[in-house]
C-alpha cells in the first residue's frame, strides 16, 4: 500500500470519526454514532500499524547480510 492511499484512508477515517462525533450531540441515536466514530478511529490505528509492520518486514535488519 502506497503512502498516498494510506493518507487517503487516514483522511476518510478522521472525517468519519469527526462527523460521527458531531452527530452524537444531536437527538439522533447517540450510542450508534459514538460506536461509528470509535470504530473508524480503531480501524485507522489498525491500518497504520499494519502498514508500519509491513514496512519493517520489507527492510533487512541492521547487520543482516
Distance, in Å, from the CA atom of 42 to the CA atom of 17, rounded to the nearest integer, reads: 10
0.85 exceeded by pTM: no
Residue 65 has pLDDT above 80, yes or no: no
- Residue 37 inside a domain? The answer is yes
Q: In this predicted structure, what is the pLDDT of residue 38?
A: 93
Asked if residue 32 is part of any domain, the answer here is yes
Residue 65: inside a domain, yes or no? no
Cβ atoms of 34 and 24 closer than 8 Å? yes
In a domain, 26, yes or no: yes
- Say yes or no to pLDDT of 57 above 70: no
How many structural domains does the chain have?
A: 1
> Domain limits at 38?
3-58
Q: What is the pLDDT of residues 15-36, one digit of tens each?
A: 999 999 899 888 888 889 999 9
Q: Tens digit of pLDDT for each residue in 30-56?
A: 889 999 999 999 999 998 888 888 886
Residue 64 covered by a domain? no
CB 45 within 8 A of CB 4: no
So what's the pLDDT on residue 20? 92
User: Which one, of 40, 54, 55, 53, lies nearest residue 9 by Cα?
Assistant: 40
Amino acid at each position: 500500500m502506497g503512502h498516498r492511499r494510506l493518507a487517503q484512508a487516514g483522511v476518510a477515517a478522521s472525517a468519519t470519526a469527526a462527523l460521527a462525533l458531531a452527530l452524537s450531540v444531536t437527538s439522533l441515536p447517540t450510542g450508534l454514532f459514538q460506536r461509528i466514530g470509535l470504530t473508524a478511529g480503531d480501524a485507522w490505528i489498525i491500518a497504520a500499524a499494519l502498514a508500519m509492520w509491513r514496512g519493517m518486514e520489507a527492510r533487512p535488519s541492521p547487520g543482516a547480510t
